[in-house]
Amino acid sequence: MARHKVEIANVNTANIKVLTNEEMVDLFKKYQQGDLLAKEELVNGNLKLVLSILKKYNNRCDNMDDLFQVGCIGLIKAIDNFDLSHEVKFSTYAVPMIVGEVKRFIRDNNSVRIARSIKDTAYQILKLKDEYLKEHGKEPNLDYIKNKLNITDYEINCALDSTKEAMSMFEPIYNDGGDTIYLADQLEDKSSNGIVTETSIALKNALNRLRNKERYIIEARYFYGKTQMELASEIGISQAQISRLEKSGLANIKKMMQ
């Protein structure tokens, strides 16, 4: 089986029909007038959209048949709620809904179980951030969240960490056209007994050659585990600026280590 091919039991993916835009519009008009057969055609004609989304989750789920069914639920929700008057392509509208269902399924079925209280705190933080962003045009700082929700720095970090997807040890993290580097390749080898490698020396030299602010952000993020929000509050700049400086620093390190 090809690495990114998705195989689903009892579904011949090679023969799935793909609808033209004109056919889609016609079927949506019929469905919205009560034609349930039109809905069935819309579902069958968009299964390849579901399969294209599942490709990136091939190594994150043991049962792709289940994930396919979940993706189809997202597709059906998108069909039920799509409005032709918005004049956007159906795929543009449907993809976020399908991805949302898939991610929710993977998260809820993850072997790493997260306490309900932590999930609830994460929801409150994200809701508070969203409301603040809409009102002020920027994200709130850490102190604002702490005071509003009466929680500690530790509780905030735990809650936000719980919203991140677990990463496989064999997740590809870099490929320049040659050999792929996987996350497992970057983990510490305990059998080395602390021997300093050429890579660690090169990394240290690259860090020392960064601009002061870039170096501080990279070290704080990757050695001390600080969040971008914490650094933004500490330094006095926006989280977006922290993100840009972090990306710039990582890009410079990559160039210097080539």
What is the C-alpha to C-alpha distance for residues 15 and 234, in angstroms, rounded to an integer? Answer: 56
Supply the CATH classification number for the domain 172-257: 1.10.10.10
User: Residue 179: CB partners within 8 Å, gap ≥ 6?
Assistant: none
Cα Rg of the chain, angstroms = 23
Q: Provide the pLDDT for residue 4.
A: 41
Give the length of the chain. Answer: 258
Right CATH for 13-108 from 3.30.450.40, 3.30.70.260, 3.10.20.340, 1.20.120.1810: 1.20.120.1810
What's this model's pTM, rounded to 2 decimal places?
A: 0.42
Per-residue pLDDT of the chain (258 residues; tens, 9 = 90+): 333 444 554 555 566 778 888 899 999 999 999 999 999 999 999 998 998 888 877 666 656 778 888 889 999 999 998 888 877 888 888 888 898 888 888 776 655 555 677 778 888 888 888 888 888 888 888 889 989 899 888 788 878 776 665 554 445 544 545 444 544 444 444 444 444 456 667 777 788 888 888 888 888 887 777 788 888 888 888 888 888 898 888 888 888 876
Neighbours of 178 (CB within 10 A): 6
Q: In the chain, what are the domain boundaries?
A: 13-108, 116-161, 172-257
Check if CATH label 1.20.120 holds for domain 116-161. no
The alpha carbon torsion through 156, 161, 164, 167 (nearest 10 deg) reads 170
* Total H helices, total E strands in the chain: 12, 2
Q: Check for a shared fold between 116-161 and 172-257.
A: yes
